Chains A and B, each alone.
Chain A
Amino acid sequence: MFATLFFYYLFVMILASAVLMITRKHIVHAVLYMLLMFFHIAGLYILLEAEFLAAVQLIVYAGAILVLYLFVIMLVNIRQLETLREQLFGHLPFALVSAGLLCAGVVGILIQETAFKDSPAAVQAATQMSNPELLGQALFTQYLFPFEVASLILLVALVGAVLLASRKI
């Protein structure tokens, strides 16, 4: 019962903060709504028994990426941001058509696919391991090579960002 109520609370809050985020005129307000959304998504991960990912969500998204956005926003002229004129719904027909097509596709798949049923009696992790233990075991055995590739991606991004930001182009 509590989990159900919690889920609906998170459902409403995530979608509401996302909609508020993309409609804000002031960019810093949008970033703050994004922060609110990240916190609620972390709550959703806890509800989904992914405690490690909830922590990573807060540390990486709310802690690192969001602060990076705020720093860059403060590096550009904030007054320029305020005078940026844009008609919010200038691209509305295009947006509606593409979003409608995407929505129709996903709903069609969801209706067609009957395998999406909750199966609590399925495998039900027989081990008593906690979520970070399970995740670490999967990450460092079966997915070791993708893990190394991910570290390489981060290295390339690091070098690329430094190179781009430092050189006069």
Chain B
Amino acid sequence: MTITLEHYILLGTLLFLIGVAGFLIRRNIFLMFMSIELMMNGVNICFVSFARYYHDMAGQVFVIFVMTVAAAEAAVGLAIILILYRNRETLNADEFHLMKH
């Protein structure tokens, strides 16, 4: 019983789906951000397993770019959360409707 590519794809997909579920069911803005990281990690697992099974380094190179974007996203996103918290005193994503008015 060997581990095939499908096993890794399944793991990455399940991780991505858990991230989607977390993003949709939680209202805590921090947890929504962390769910995005979860989705990115699921995608990264798929990239690395493709790189391993097709012997192509492009997959691993792309994971580095995904990590770059994740770091940038965390920095900017958390700064925005801080500003929202300073103005609104809440962390519930449902109460952020500044653009509706």
Contacts and interface: CB of A to CB of B under 8 A. Distances in A.
B91 A69 contact: no
| Secondary structure type dominating chain B contacts | helix
Interface residues of B, number: 71
Contact of A102 (B17, B72, B91): B17
A118 B48 contact: no
Interface of A: 3-4, 7, 11, 14-15, 18-19, 21-22, 27, 30-31, 34, 37-38, 41, 44-45, 48-50, 52-53, 56-57, 60-61, 64-65, 68-69, 72-73, 75-77, 80-81, 84, 86, 88-92, 94-95, 98-99, 102-103, 106, 110, 116-119, 122-125, 131, 134-135, 137-139, 143, 146, 150, 153-154, 156-158, 160-161, 164-165, 169
Contact of B3 (A3, A15, A34): A3
Contacts, number: 215
Contacts of A118: 2, 4-5, 53
A22 to B, nearest CB: 3
Contacts of A30: 30-31, 34
B99 interface: no
Given A50-B48, A99-B21, A157-B75, 6 more contacts: A11-B11, A18-B15, A44-B11, A84-B28, A84-B91, A157-B71
Interface string B9-46: 10101111111111011111011011101100100110
A31 B38 CA distance: 12
Contact of B64 (A56, A65, A161): A56
B80 A164 contact: yes
20 contacts: A4-B1, A15-B18, A31-B34, A53-B64, A64-B71, A65-B70, A76-B85, A81-B91, A86-B26, A91-B24, A99-B21, A99-B24, A106-B13, A110-B6, A116-B4, A122-B54, A135-B57, A135-B60, A157-B72, A157-B73
Given A48-B48, A48-B49, A99-B17, A21 B85 contact: no
B74 A34 contact: no
A138 B61 contact: yes
A41 B67 contact: no
Contacts of B13: 103, 106
A169 to B, nearest CB: 5
B97 interface: no
Contacts of A21: 22, 34, 38
B57 to A, nearest CB: 4
B52 A48 contact: yes
